[in-house]
Structure 1
Amino acid sequence: MITRDTDAFFALARATAADFGPATARAAFLVAPDGFRLAEQSARDNAYMADAAAFDAARASAQHRDLQRAVSAVLPTVCFAGSPDTPDALFPNNVFGTAAGRSIIGRMRHEVRQCEAARSDIRAFFRDVLGRQEVDLSTQPHPCELTGALVIDRARGLGFCGLSERCDEAGAKLMHEAFGLRGTLLFDLAAGEYHTNVVLAVLAGRAAVVCPAGFAEPSVAAAIADLYAPHAVVCDAAEHAAFVANCIALSADTAWMSAAAGRALSPAHRATLAEAGFRVEAVELDAIEAAGGSLRCCIGELF
C-alpha cells in the first residue's frame, strides 16, 4: 500500500507485526566532509543552512571523526573519502540506502548532489564487496532523496514519505518499491521544509520523534505520534530548530542526536525516550549543522 489516505494507512500500520526485519542497522557508513563549504544549489531549498561565513571546514572534519569514533563503539562504521567537488557528500543517506540484499541509489534534485550517485567506489563496495543487488534510481527524472525524504520503520516495513521539491509522488513510489515496504504514507511537508528526517524519526520501531510544524497538515504528525504512543516525543519550536527529530537508533538501546539537539531536548522528552528503552547519545556537530543537516543525515545504514 502506498497512499495519502491516513485512515487506510494507520489501519494497516496497527495491524502490522514487527517482523519485517531488524529494527536497527547492522553497520553504518559515512562520507568525510572533504571540501566542506556552502553548496549554493542546496541552499535554495534548505532553510537550515547557514551563510558561507559560518562554514568551518577544519572543525567539521574533526567533529565528523568524533562522530565516527563514537558510533563505532556501537556498531561497525566505515567512512569513505569525500571530494572537494561534492560539498554535501557528508550526508550520504540521501543518496545511498540499503534493504535486505539490495543497495539503492537515489535521484537527487540538485546537480551538485547528483554527482555523488555516480561514485564508483561506493557502488562497488555495495555490489562487489557486500554482494548487493543494485537498484539505481539516479537516472530517472523523479527526485527521490531516499532516507532524507522517506523515514522507515524497519521493524514493520512502513514508510513515512514527506513530499517536497526533494521528492515527488512518482519518486516516492519508486522508493516504496525499492525498499520493498509493506505500506507507505504520503503527505506534504510544510513550506520551507526540505526533508522528512528533519521533522520525524522512528526509533527501532518503538518510538517516534515528531515536529508537527514541519508537516503541512499537523493532523498527520498527530496520527504518527498516536501510532507510537506512549513513546512519542512531540517537539516544540526550540527542539525542532535544534534538530532533535534528526536522530537515529543505532542499537536497541541507544538514540543518537547532536549535542545541540541533546541540550534542547526537554527533561520530559528525555524521560519518554528512556521509558522506551533508549539512552540518548550525543556528539558535538555544530560545524556540520551549518550545512543544514545533523547527525542522522550523516549516517548511512547497512541492513
Structure 2
Amino acid sequence: MSASAGSRRVITTSPTEFLDACAALAPLPEAAATARAAFLVAPAGFALAQESARDNRYMDLSRTVDPLRALAQHGALAQALRADVPVITFPGDPATPDAVFPNNVFATAPGRLIVGRMRHPVRQREAARADIRAFFGDLLGYDEIDLSGCSGLVAELTGSLVIDRVRGIGYCGIGERCNLAGAEAMHQAFGLRLTYCFELAASEYHTNVVLALLASRAAIIAADGFRDPAAAQAIAQACGGRAIWLSPAQKQAFAGNAITLSDERVWMSAGAAAALTDAQREALAGYGFALDAVALDEIEKAGGSLRCCVGEIY
C-alpha cells in the first residue's frame, strides 16, 4: 500500500488492504453518484482501427462496417440518454476512427477536465482536439490536467478506471492500456481517496468491459476478466454484495459495458440487455434500477459499447 505524501490518499494492489481501507471511508458529503451531463463524439467515416485491434480482442478486422448505420445508431443513443441528462455531441473526424469512444481520452471531476495518455498513436491524436478542450476550459471554466504528453505512463481514463464517485474510490485494471504509473497519475488527477489496482486477465484491454458501478451502490462484474478472482470478490464485497455476475458470453455481449446517468436507470446496448437472464434483470430491479437499451451492434464492431461512447460531465 502506498500513500501520497501529506495526504491520506491511498493506492493499493492488495484486496485485503483495499477492503480495510474501504471500510474506513464514509461517503463524501456533497458527491454526486452520477454525472450532471454527458458528451459524445459522433462517428465520421466509421472504420475499424488496426492499431487498436492489436490489444482489443473484441474487434474483428474481417467484419465489414456500415458508417451510415453506425451514425444512425449513435444519434439514437444521444437522443435516448437525454431522458436522464443533457447530452452534447461533438463532430467526428475520419482521421480518428476510434474517437466514437471519447471516455478513454477525456474525463471530468468537478471543475476539472482530465486528458488521458493513450497507448496507440491513432488514439493519441484525439487528445489534441482543441474544440473539446475549449468547451471545458473556456466555456465551463474547468481546470485542465493534461496527461497526454507524459512519457512513461499509459492512462486510458474511464476505460481503465471505474470510479465510485460517492466514496472517491477508483478501481483500476492494469494491462496494456494502463500501467501503474498511469494509475497513480489518474488517482491524483481525479482526486480519489482510494484506488484499488488489479491486473486484468490477459485477454482484456479495459476495466469498463468487465466492471460497471451503478450509481455507487451496486456492480456488474465479469469475474473471468480479472487475473486474480480475489480482486473481483473484493469489489463485490465493497459493494455490500450487490453484484450482478456475468458469464463469459454475457461479457462478450458487452453486458459489463453499462452506465448509470441517474439513480434509477441502467443503460446498456440492446445486445447486452438481451444477454441478461431474468434473474439478473430482477436483481437490477431489486437494487432500484430500471434497464433501458439502445441498438449499437454496428458500433460494437469497433470493440466497445454503450459506456465507452459516453463521456461524463461532473
Matched, 1:8 2:17: yes
In the alignment, the residues of structure 2 paired with residue 290 and residue 9 of structure 1 have an alpha-carbon distance, to the nearest angstrom, of 35
Please name the residue that 1:71 is paired with: 81
Q: CA deviation at 1:139?
A: 0.1
**Conserved? CA contact 1:38–1:52, under 8 Å:** no
1:213-251 superposed Cα distances (whole Å, 9 cap, x missing partner): 000001111111122244200111221111111000110
For residues 45-84 of structure 1, give each alpha carbon's deviation from its aligned partner in whole angstroms, at most 9, with x where no partner exists: 0000122433211111000000000001211000000000
CA deviations on 1:93-134 (whole Å, 9 max, x unpaired) are 000000011000000000000000000000000000000000
For structure 1, the residue ranges without an aligned partner over 5 or more in a row are none
Question: Are 1:43 and 1:49, in contact at CA under 8 Å, matched by a contact in 2?
Answer: yes
In structure 1, what is the equivalent of residue 7 of structure 2?
A: none
Task: Say which SS state the counterpart of residue 89 (structure 1) adopts.
Answer: helix
What percent identity do the matched residue pairs reach? 56
- Normalization by structure 2: what TM-score? 0.95
1:133-173 Cα deviation digits (max 9, x unpaired): 00000000211000000000011110000001110000100
Residues 1:156 and 2:167 are matched in the alignment: yes
Whether 1:40 and 2:50 are equivalent positions in the alignment is yes
* Matched residue type, 1:148: G
What is the CA RMSD across the aligned residues, in angstroms?
A: 0.9
Unaligned runs of 5+ in 2: 1-9
- 1:111 is the counterpart of 2:111: no
Output the amino acid matched with 1:17. Answer: A
Does residue 259 of structure 1 match 2:270? yes
Cα separation, 2, equivalents of 1:64 and 1:92: 13
CA deviations on 1:267-286 (whole Å, 9 max, x unpaired) are 11111111111001100000
CA distance in 1, matches of 2:280, 2:27: 24
SS of 1:287 mapped into structure 2: helix
Q: Which amino acid aligns with 1:76?
A: P
1:173 to 166, 176, 184: 184
Residue 255 of structure 1: CA displacement? 0.5
| Contact 2:219/2:239 (<8 A) preserved | yes
Distance 1:72 1:50 in 2: 31
Contact 1:231/1:273 (<8 A) preserved: no
Q: Which moved further from structure 2: 43-52 or 254-263?
A: 43-52
Q: Secondary structure at the match of 1:271?
A: helix
> Which residue in 2 is equivalent to 1:81?
91
Alignment of 1:78-157 (within 5 A): 78-141=88-151, 142-157=153-168
